[in-house]
Amino acid sequence: GDKAFAQFLTDEIKEEKKIQKHKSLPKISGGWELEVHGTEAKLVRKIAGEKITVTFNINNSIPPSAEEDTQEQQKPDEQEPELTSTPNFVVEVIKDDTKQSLVLDCHFPEDEIGHEGEEESDIFTIREVSFQPPGEADWKDTNYTLNTDSLDWALYDHLMDFLADRGVDNTFADELIELSTALEHQEYIKFLEDLKSFVKCQ
């Protein structure tokens, strides 16, 4: 059984490498520096008196619906549909002269993806906003968190403009999806390779 499994993985890795769009990770325009730690990616950009970091994790970033619909209608020789990774991402804006950072939790609404041609709508939304101590990995529940569900639209628009002024706009979000998708695929191939070595190990 293990032999057949290893053979299957070998073929699968070959196929995945064939369809791999990016041999190296795509860059994000606008002077963002990328750091990758396993499945977590961090983009950092410094502008006058501020540091902006955007963090996202590729785990569970592929919407589930894409899988189910395609299985039934797929003919054997058809290309599998491209999976797109749309991770939630957290934007942290730190101003040099304050001891706080403004943290905005953003995500890609599932139903928005792929409705191009409608009026200029944002492809991502801000879900929560909070002040946090700079560099904290976890949100502190004791800090007030603004949930945007019931937010005044004007205030929401200003928050979106605030992000756009710092380079986090639709173009950035598109490039983030591309980067995340490439990273996800790269990690998937690496996982298959590790699994193959594990299965072959006596």
Q: 82-86, 111-115, 173-177 — which is least confidently predicted?
A: 111-115
Q: Could you report the per-residue pLDDT of 9-63, keeping only the tens digit for each?
A: 999 999 999 998 888 899 999 999 999 999 999 999 999 899 999 999 999 999 8
Q: How far apart are the first and last CA of the chain?
A: 13
Q: Could you report the per-residue pLDDT of 146-185, keeping only the tens digit for each?
A: 999 988 999 999 999 999 999 999 999 999 999 999 999 9
Q: Do residues 163 and 104 touch, judged by C-beta distance below 8 A?
A: yes
Question: Which has more pLDDT, 84 or 72?
Answer: 84
Residue 171: which of 124, 128, 115 has the closest Cα?
A: 124
Residue 71 is predicted with a pLDDT of 43
Q: Do residues 13 and 191 touch, judged by C-beta distance below 8 A?
A: no
Question: Which has more pLDDT, 43 or 96?
Answer: 43
Only one residue has tokens 């040099």, namely 96
Rg (CA), the chain: 20
State how far the Cα of 137 lies from the Cα of 107, in Å rounded to an integer.
18
Residue 22 is predicted with a pLDDT of 81
Give the chain's length. Answer: 202
For residue 83, which phi and psi values (nearest 5 degrees)? -90, 135
State how far the Cα of 36 lies from the Cα of 131, in Å rounded to an integer.
25
Residue 118 is predicted with a pLDDT of 44
pLDDT at 110 over 80: no
Q: What is the mean pLDDT of residues 91-100?
A: 88
Residue 103 is predicted with a pLDDT of 94
Domains assigned to the chain: 29-59+84-109+121-191 (3.10.280.10)
* Helix and strand counts by DSSP (H, E) for the chain: 4, 7
State how far the Cα of 187 lies from the Cα of 202, in Å rounded to an integer.
25
pLDDT at 135 over 60: yes
Token pair, residue 29, equals 């325009």
State how far the Cα of 148 lies from the Cα of 59, in Å rounded to an integer.
24
Token pair, residue 6, equals 């290893």
